[in-house]
């Protein structure tokens, strides 16, 4: 089971190290002690907390964008994996964004996907609409 240092957890959650330390000190996010004696967060606990945090936050209003296309790689943490005989459904919490991927069970098994694993959701589409907001 993966464990993440406070700084790694902060990066995955999109907050500062101090914020994660404060959450740990108040018991908002559970911690363990790693082999080096430092505070750390178990992967499944981090995945559950990322989902909880995303549910609490409202998505930020889109900021003004001028002539820019969105990136298609979303680093995050696996929060759920549902496997059946042939297919797997993998959910990734990437900041406030929840990505869902359908893949073969074999692919999910080979990648070792389970809650708490860091993964990158790469989005590819045959049609992508790029919009420019009205100028203020």
Determine the topology of domain 3-56 in CATH. Multidrug-efflux Transporter Regulator; Chain: A; Domain 2 (1.10.1660)
The whole-chain average pLDDT of the chain stands at: 84
| Range in 6-20, 26-40, 55-69, 116-130 the model is least confident about | 55-69
- Please answer whether residues 98 and 47 qualify as being in contact, where contact means their C-beta atoms are separated by less than 8 angstroms: no
Residue 16 has pLDDT above 60, yes or no: yes
Residue 65 has pLDDT above 60, yes or no: no
Asked if 56 and 124 count as a contact pair (C-beta separation under 8 A), the reply is: no
Task: List the domain boundaries for the chain.
Answer: 3-56, 73-122
Strands (E), the chain: 3-5, 32-33, 39-42, 73-83, 87-94, 97-104, 118-122
For the structural domain made of 73-122, what CATH number should be given?
Answer: 2.40.50.100
Q: Could you tell me the pTM of the whole model?
A: 0.62
Higher pLDDT: 80 or 66? It is 80
Assign 127 a pLDDT band (cuts: 50, 70, 90). low
């Amino acid at each position: 089971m993966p464990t993440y240092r406070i700084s790694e957890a902060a990066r995955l959650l999109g907050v500062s190290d101090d914020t994660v330390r404060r959450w740990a000190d108040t018991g908002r996010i559970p911690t363990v002690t790693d082999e080096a004696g430092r505070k750390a967060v178990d992967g499944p606990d981090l995945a559950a907390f990322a989902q909880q945090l995303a549910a609490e936050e409202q998505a930020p209003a889109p900021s003004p964008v001028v002539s820019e296309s969105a990136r298609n790689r979303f680093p995050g943490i696996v929060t759920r994996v549902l496997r059946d005989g042939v297919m797997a459904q993998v959910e990734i919490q990437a900041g406030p964004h929840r990505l869902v991927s359908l893949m073969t069970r074999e692919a999910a098994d080979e990648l070792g996907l389970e809650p708490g694993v860091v993964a990158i959701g790469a989005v590819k589409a045959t049609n992508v609409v790029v919009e420019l907001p009205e100028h203020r």
